[in-house]
Amino acid sequence: MRSKLVYIAAALCMLLLCLALQGLEAKTGPMRVHQHRVSPAAQTASAEAEEAGFRTHLPIVRLTTGGREIPGAPVLEDGKFAGYATAENGATAITAEFALIDSGSGANAPEDRPAVSSPATVRYRGNSSRFFDKKSYSIHLVTEQGLENPLALSGMAAHDEWVLNGPFLDRTLLRNYLCMNIAGEIMDYAPNVRYCELFLDGAYQGLYLLMESVSRGENRINIAKPGRNSSVTGYIVRFDRADKGDHELNNFTRYTFRAEVSALDVRYPGKTLINEARMHYIEQDLSHIEKVLYSSELSDSKTGAAKYLDYRAFAQYFVINEFFRNVDAGRFSTYYFKEARGKLKPCVWDFNNACDNYIDYIWDETGFSMQNAPWFGALLRDRHFVATVVETYRALRKEVLSDAYLMQYMDETLAWLGDAPARNYGVWGWVFDLNHHNGMTYLTPAERNYESYDEAVQQLRDFLTARGAWLDAHIDALFQYCHPSKNTAGGDGA
């Protein structure tokens, strides 16, 4: 009898071990690093430290241009947009000195020896954000000879392409940090972010986010490079405003006008690897996928969209952007990537306009918006996709999209930031004076804006709570889009 019990216990141990290993295998993606949980917190400065000058627990970025104007600012002629400013030689970027001061000790000063320094090509970046006084920057680290110079920054893996995002219209300074990190808890990859404080030619510019750009890399979007003489390639593409990109495609949704004002631009392969044959391959590959999306084959178990799209990743992307009401998602600043013979996946980007922070319109906590985006409106005709979205939402609401988790996350971040927001608004605090209201740097209408940092933060808290409550009550309404009475492609799913 005793031997039988031993065998049974051993079998149960083996079963539990197998289940544990399966659990570990399911979580083989990169672990998300949350800066506020691993970096030193703000400390109360002593009188001696205050007299010594600027000190911060955050990393400091120094950009030194030698007094040259950074290209990329909007040019207005007779009050109308006429393009972006270039350097004196016509270039769209200048070479500057980039330095990252990050001692890891919790005390950094702008004159400290940098942990990382490199020449870098620099330009302003963004769309409407280029009109803001507080600019955002595209940073490309290079060697003295102008070659790519991949370097690790504040614990983020080495790469040469980076973004310095300057939260401005987002008065909370929280949206991209919060949403990108929550997305990183959910998806296989979301760009990593780190708070920092920026000095440009010695002048303090405020609180910024140092961000990974959406680009190919071993620790970013890890797709293979194309073979030397092959047109077949993995790729990264971006949906954004038409006529903005350098390598725009004439794909199916473009020439049938289903993408409306958006267009797909090839972001990888880049300028040194892209050629006509690879452009043609990407254009044909995406057009084939789009034709399936908009056809009666959509829900077919063998030839439908699930054969070409990673439904799990698309459902996660849908839930993240719908929950945070990121109404640009799927239309603008929208990235997709694909291995040459893999499935297409989305990558999140840019939440500054999320959570009812869109400059021109009110997008409150009620309603859906993703059904109006290219591809997603078509995908919702497939009952299998809708069911995957609803299942994903309900699971995430018990985890990282729960009210408790989100409120605690904000509390933690605000406590960790300490006086950094106050330092930022020592420069940009005029935005809380509504006497300066205009349509380029404030929300419209004027009463949507807030007159203090605390009020702006409270708005974000209230929105997240209200949005979750509305979606809890209405998420099943997404099934209306795949009902047979609405379309003929809403079958039982793939």
Phi, psi (rounded to 5 degrees) for 210: -85, 120
User: What mean pLDDT comes out for the span 374-384?
Assistant: 96
Average pLDDT, the chain: 90
Q: Which amino acid is at 223?
A: I
User: What mean pLDDT comes out for the span 365-371?
Assistant: 96
Report the C-alpha gap between 137 and 142 in whole angstroms.
15
Predicted confidence at residue 58, as pLDDT, reads 97
Helix, strand, coil percentages for the chain (3-state, nearest 5): 35, 20, 45
User: What mean pLDDT comes out for the span 22-41?
Assistant: 68
> Residues near 397 by Cβ (< 8 Å), separated by ≥ 6?
468, 471, 472
- Do 140 and 120 contact (CB within 8 A), yes or no? yes
- Do 160 and 432 contact (CB within 8 A), yes or no? no
Predicted confidence (pLDDT) at residue 335 exceeds the cutoff of 70: yes
Predicted confidence at residue 129, as pLDDT, reads 86
How many C-beta atoms lie closer than 10 Å to residue 42's C-beta? 15
Predicted confidence at residue 142, as pLDDT, reads 98
Q: How many CA atoms lie within 13 A of 482 on its CB side?
A: 24
pLDDT band at 439; cut points 50, 70, 90: confident
> Residues near 21 by Cβ (< 8 Å), separated by ≥ 6?
none
pTM above 0.85, yes or no: yes
Predicted confidence at residue 30, as pLDDT, reads 52
Percent of the chain with pLDDT over 70: 90
Quick one: which of 280, 256, 252 has its CA closest to 266?
A: 280
Report the C-alpha gap between 1 and 9 in whole angstroms.
12
Predicted confidence at residue 399, as pLDDT, reads 96
- Return the higher-pLDDT residue of 203 and 3: 203
Render pLDDT for 94-143 as a digit per residue (tens, 0 to 9).
999 999 999 988 889 999 999 999 999 999 998 888 889 999 999 999 99
Report the C-alpha gap between 366 and 467 in whole angstroms.
7
> What's the token pair of residue 263?
């267009």
User: What mean pLDDT comes out for the span 301-330?
Assistant: 96
Phi, psi (rounded to 5 degrees) for 264: -95, 130
- Return the higher-pLDDT residue of 145 and 127: 145
In this structure, of 51-55, 265-269, 278-282, the range with the lowest mean pLDDT score is 51-55
How many C-beta atoms lie closer than 10 Å to residue 439's C-beta? 12
DSSP letter string over 76-100? EETTEEEEE---TTS-S-EEEEEEE
> What's the token pair of residue 103?
């001692």
60: β partners = 101, 197
pLDDT band at 52; cut points 50, 70, 90: low
